[in-house]
Amino acid sequence: MDPATYIDPNLTVPDRLVLEHLLKEAESPAAPKTPTNLSNPSQNEEEEQATALDAQAQLTLQHLESLNDPHNSSTFTPTVTVTWDLPELRRRVPAWLLQPYIQTARSLVRVETDVVMLTHLLLYFSTSVPSALYLFFGTFHWWHGLLHWLMQSYYVGTYTLMMHQHIHMGGILTRSSSSLITRVDSLFPYLLDPLMGHTWNSYYYHHVKHHHVEGNGPRDLSSTLRYQRDSPWDFACYVARFYFLVWCELPAYFLRRGQVVTALKAGLWELGSYAMLCLAWRYGGWRPTLFVLLLPLLQLRVGLMVGNWGQHAFVDEVDPDSDFRSSITLIDVASNRFCYNDGYHTSHHLNPRRHWRDHPVAFLRQHARYAAEHALVFRNIDYIMITVRLLRKDYRYLAKCLVPMGEQIAMTLDEKAEMLRRKTRQFSEEEIAKKFKTI
């Protein structure tokens, strides 16, 4: 499979349309119009950029918007499962079962496209929870413990990105008058988070209150700036720092910022999670605790840092403080079909509260701006494999995965590879002081 030419048949419909447009544009001699305002775009500026699209792109944009519009009954397409799109699901599931479920679920979720989130809550509560309870309170078997951990390993990527939506939007279930729905939306993370390897509320405090404030800048505890991003040693140091020191460094960050209450909350929730794990080990048994709580925690801590390394490995040497130039976009199955469009990481940094289904629309609307800013778009690769390829210094493979835009279109494969290599270089403290306004 050549990543430079292969189009995965399992891409989501929006991904396929976006990719087809970019490939067609790369083959055309006419370059997209470049926006004149290169500051961070407002909503009005995004709309103005959309008007500059050609007729075919406008039609694609309108089609993508209609898929997300619940008021457009003829084209609205909620996401019900991550594996199958709705047309395929209708071929597999009887209408008498599927349609009532979709109608009911649309009334229970925060955004009507997000039926899939209720689907996954039902999945976790019907598999993960009973399995964990049986391991603790039933008869423990090693094979059950191993299968439980493997099941959670399969679930954790999708769950984590569902929680990503939860922490940015303040929930995933409807803000209804029903106190039961509200309580379920608020409380389910306290049960499911530890089963997936998350400590209580740490994702919120680290990601929303810290990472999106600092944006991979020099004060970001998960910043990649001070590391050589193709060095296995630097990567090991990066993971080890988060692995062993996040419990104290994150509260210390908030204290330095004068956010005492936030520091106390972040520290107490993290330490409380460790205390719960110790109590489970002591009174629930070390064997079920190992498979239900400890292995998921140890695994996820590595996974989060591997993913963040891939998301922010390529940092522009000229303007590292730009969201367009310090993060990337992926058009791939693992990130976007199974993980709620997590591949649109630049779009997410430009607007952290943008709904996950709106990312392909926003990208296509602004893609000329992405090209003008020398943003990077990849296909047929996810963040984990970007990290793996970087640590192997396999820049030619990464260059094959690049979807060229703007000036990148005229580059040879070797030129693309060298361009990517430059963007993984470690920044010195002198460069950081010069290129970042506040440290």
With respect to residue 367, please indicate whether it lies within any of the assigned structural domains. yes
Residue 158 has pLDDT above 70, yes or no: yes
With respect to residue 330, please indicate whether it lies within any of the assigned structural domains. yes
With respect to residue 222, please indicate whether it lies within any of the assigned structural domains. no
Please give the tally of structural domains in the chain. 1
Average confidence (pLDDT) over 355-368: 96
Average confidence (pLDDT) over 44-67: 76
With respect to residue 99, please indicate whether it lies within any of the assigned structural domains. no
Residue 439 has pLDDT above 70, yes or no: no
pLDDT category of residue 176 using cuts at 50, 70 and 90: confident
For residues 101 and 394, is the Cβ–Cβ distance under 8 A?
Answer: no
Range of the domain at 22: 13-28+40-77+314-423
With respect to residue 396, please indicate whether it lies within any of the assigned structural domains. yes
Residue of higher predicted confidence among 39 and 65: 65
Render pLDDT for 231-270 as a digit per residue (tens, 0 to 9): 999 999 999 999 999 999 999 999 999 999 999 999 999 9
With respect to residue 391, please indicate whether it lies within any of the assigned structural domains. yes
With respect to residue 299, please indicate whether it lies within any of the assigned structural domains. no
Render pLDDT for 201-211 as a digit per residue (tens, 0 to 9): 999 999 999 99
Which pLDDT score, from 0 to 100, does residue 175 have? 84
Render pLDDT for 118-144 as a digit per residue (tens, 0 to 9): 999 999 999 999 999 999 999 999 999
pLDDT, the chain, mean: 93
Q: Return all residues near 391 (Cβ < 8 A) that are at least 6 apart.
A: 230, 231, 232, 235
pTM, two decimal places = 0.93
Residue whose pair of structure tokens reads 């909503």 in the numeric block: 43
Residue 73 has pLDDT above 90, yes or no: no
Token pair listed for 412: 């040879």
Render pLDDT for 277-328 as a digit per residue (tens, 0 to 9): 999 999 999 999 999 999 999 999 999 999 999 999 999 999 999 999 999 9
For residues 18 and 341, is the Cβ–Cβ distance under 8 A?
Answer: no
With respect to residue 51, please indicate whether it lies within any of the assigned structural domains. yes
Token pair listed for 139: 């008869």
For residues 334 and 351, is the Cβ–Cβ distance under 8 A?
Answer: no
Which pLDDT score, from 0 to 100, does residue 179 have? 83
Cα distance between residue 106 and residue 347, in whole Å: 26
